[in-house]
């Protein structure tokens, strides 16, 4: 019997080793699934098993079951025949406490999992409200941002769209990203926002980034300092009035700039390093070809919200990029996850 018990304990130890080797994360003494946030607990009061808080004292194996002989004795009230007594030093805490210990450990583990799921759902909801904050989880490779989880070990790519809002194409683009749990950045022209407020509000509610593309698509290198500042501020103002969110990044129409522009745009200036030239050819196949097989982690891709061809290309490239392992993120997320602190008056092409 003693040899059998040793074999059982050895088996439990081996199972624990398999869990660790299979990538199961451990936090605060609780076995958790990757990406699940576990509320902080006093680890001194918790055991190493799946019971979590209240699952047993530190160092106690709460997963062991009572022996068949003990169960028989408890049910009948009579000593079980041919069942030798177990020396006290070989009994686990669960055996000493009786058969209810395993049940309590299981219930405690279920409560910890439920708390973790609730906490994660709360973080996801909060991340849609606080869209420029990235929330860590118990898994160091998983963060929560803009209403979904991001695996930072995967390649990160920012697809971006200029010149909107344009409702027909824009809603198709949003649909494509939302279907696969991905996010994008819309660089919008301010004077087009009021007439398409519902689309812009949907962008914000779904976790996409709202960005500045001047108020009236003005080539800022052709105007003076006062007009430059006005174009930027008025665009920010109208987007904030429509959604409650003030843009934190901007893109120059045409990418046109000079020293006066740089000095008077008090925001990070985001350009691009992959140009689909959709504005030129307006051809779905060419847009797809400009991206698939050519992009890498950290790239910023330029497209325009104006064209049906671009919407159609988006419906093709988003699922293909996700299948290849890309995480499609906003520009601000890309910068933050690549460790880049965006600064006003500075130009960025990629990260």
- Quick: pLDDT tens for 155-173: 999 999 999 999 999 999 9
Q: Tell me how far CA of residue 66 lies from CA of 11, 47, 103, in angstroms.
A: 15, 18, 11
Q: Tell me how far CA of residue 25 lies from CA of 36, 129, 205, 337, in angstroms.
A: 9, 28, 32, 22
User: Each residue of 73-106: pLDDT tens digit?
Assistant: 334 444 444 444 444 444 444 444 555 656 666 6
| pLDDT of 325 over the 80 cut | yes
Query: Does 162 lie in the same domain as 124?
Result: no
Query: Does 213 lie in the same domain as 100?
Result: no
In angstroms, the CA 172 to CA 178 distance is: 10
* pLDDT band at residue 120 using 50, 70 and 90 as cut-offs: confident
Q: Is residue 143 part of a domain?
A: no
Name, in order, each residue with C-beta under 8 angstroms of 141's C-beta and a sequence gap of 6 or more: 34, 151, 152, 153
Query: Does 124 lie in the same domain as 167?
Result: no
| pLDDT of 27 over the 50 cut | no
DSSP state of 292: T
pLDDT, position 125: 93
In angstroms, the CA 243 to CA 137 distance is: 28
Regarding pTM above 0.75, the answer is no
Read off φ and ψ for residue 277, nearest 5 degrees: 55, 35
In angstroms, the CA 321 to CA 339 distance is: 23
User: Each residue of 220-236: pLDDT tens digit?
Assistant: 999 999 999 999 999 99
Query: Does 106 lie in the same domain as 43?
Result: yes
In angstroms, the CA 52 to CA 32 distance is: 10
User: Each residue of 233-266: pLDDT tens digit?
Assistant: 999 999 999 999 999 999 999 999 999 999 999 9
Q: Tell me how far CA of residue 94 lies from CA of 7, 79, 90, in angstroms.
A: 17, 20, 12
In angstroms, the CA 209 to CA 204 distance is: 7
Query: Does 195 lie in the same domain as 291?
Result: yes
pLDDT, position 80: 43
In angstroms, the CA 278 to CA 243 distance is: 28
> In this structure, what CATH number is given to the domain that contains residue 233?
3.20.20.370
pLDDT, position 319: 98
| pLDDT of 54 over the 50 cut | no
Lowest mean pLDDT among 78-82, 147-151, 211-215, 347-351: 78-82
> Containing domain of residue 291, as a range?
154-348
Here the tokens at position 331 are: 């520009």
pLDDT, position 157: 98
Query: Does 207 lie in the same domain as 123?
Result: no
274-275 and 300-304 strand pairing: parallel
In angstroms, the CA 246 to CA 344 distance is: 15
User: Each residue of 28-47: pLDDT tens digit?
Assistant: 322 223 333 333 333 333 33
Q: Is residue 138 part of a domain?
A: no
Number of compact structural domains in the chain:
2
Lowest mean pLDDT among 73-77, 110-114, 294-298, 340-344: 73-77
Place of tokens 């500042």: 229
Here the tokens at position 294 are: 């050519």
Q: Calculate the average pLDDT of the chain.
A: 79
| pLDDT of 198 over the 90 cut | yes
Query: Does 110 lie in the same domain as 223?
Result: no
Q: Is residue 215 part of a domain?
A: yes
In angstroms, the CA 234 to CA 237 distance is: 5
Query: Does 22 lie in the same domain as 164?
Result: no
Query: Does 288 lie in the same domain as 184?
Result: yes
Three-class secondary structure assignment of 35-60: CCCCCCCCHHHCCCCCCCCCCCCCCC
- Catalytic residues, by residue number, are 162, 304
């Amino acid at each position: 019997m003693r040899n059998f018990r040793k074999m059982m304990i050895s088996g439990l130890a081996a199972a624990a080793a398999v869990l660790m080797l299979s990538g199961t994360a451990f936090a605060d003494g609780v076995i958790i699934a990757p990406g699940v946030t576990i509320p902080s607990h006093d680890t001194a009061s918790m055991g190493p098993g799946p019971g979590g808080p209240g699952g047993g004292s530190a160092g106690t194996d709460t997963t062991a079951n009572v022996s068949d002989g003990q169960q028989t004795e408890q049910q009948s009230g009579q000593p079980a025949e041919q069942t030798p007594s177990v020396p006290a030093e070989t009994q686990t805490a669960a055996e000493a406490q009786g058969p209810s210990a395993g049940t309590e450990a299981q219930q405690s583990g279920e409560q910890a999992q439920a708390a973790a799921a609730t906490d994660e759902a709360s973080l996801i909801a909060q991340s849609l409200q606080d869209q420029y904050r990235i929330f860590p989880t118990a898994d160091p490779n998983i963060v929560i941002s803009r209403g979904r989880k991001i695996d930072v070990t995967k390649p990160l790519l920012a697809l971006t769209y200029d010149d909107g809002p344009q409702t027909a194409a824009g809603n198709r683009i949003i649909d494509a990203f939302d279907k696969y749990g991905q996010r994008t950045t819309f660089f919008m022209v301010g004077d087009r926002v009021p007439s398409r407020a519902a689309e812009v509000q949907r962008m914000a509610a779904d976790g996409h980034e709202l960005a500045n593309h001047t108020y009236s698509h003005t080539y800022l290198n052709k105007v003076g300092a006062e007009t430059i500042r006005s174009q930027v501020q008025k665009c920010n103002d109208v987007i904030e009035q429509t959604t409650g969110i003030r843009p934190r990044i901007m893109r120059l129409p045409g990418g046109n700039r000079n020293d006066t522009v740089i000095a008077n745009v008090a925001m990070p200036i985001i350009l691009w390093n992959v140009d689909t030239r959709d504005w030129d050819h307006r051809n779905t196949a060419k847009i797809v070809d400009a991206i698939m097989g050519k992009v890498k982690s950290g790239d910023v891709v330029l497209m325009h919200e104006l064209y049906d061809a671009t919407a159609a290309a988006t419906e093709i490239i988003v699922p293909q990029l996700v299948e290849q392992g890309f995480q499609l993120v906003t520009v601000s997320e890309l910068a933050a996850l690549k460790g880049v602190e965006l600064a006003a008056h500075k130009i960025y092409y990629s990260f």
